[in-house]
């Protein structure tokens, strides 16, 4: 059975430079996501992209507070 989606967040983040700032922290925190874990995952996933490249990022958050994301360079 598929996980139930709790919310979707669309945001532009810089490759390798995500941080729990005024935009990302509240957007994910209100959905119960561990923002520090997301920042680590995002920065690791974008390590092969030139640092600072703007990435259009769509984060899908599930009821169990897990998430997945797709990041595409702009």
Q: Where are the alpha helices (DSSP H) in 1-74?
A: 24-29, 35-45
pTM equals: 0.93
Check pLDDT > 90 for residue 12.
Answer: yes
Q: How far apart are CA 42 and CA 6, in angstroms?
A: 20
At 22-67, the pLDDT tens digits run: 889 999 999 999 999 999 999 999 999 999 999 999 999 999 999 9
Partners of 58 in the β-ladder: 10, 70
Sorted by where each starts, the structural domains of the chain and their CATH numbers stand as: 5-73 (3.30.1550.10)
């Amino acid at each position: 059975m598929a996980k139930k989606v709790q919310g979707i967040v669309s945001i532009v983040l810089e490759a390798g430079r995500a941080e729990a700032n005024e935009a990302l922290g509240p957007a994910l925190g209100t959905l119960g996501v561990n923002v520090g874990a997301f920042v680590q995952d995002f920065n690791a996933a974008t390590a092969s992209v030139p640092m600072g490249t703007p990435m259009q990022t769509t984060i899908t958050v599930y009821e169990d507070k897990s998430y997945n994301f797709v990041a595409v360079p702009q």
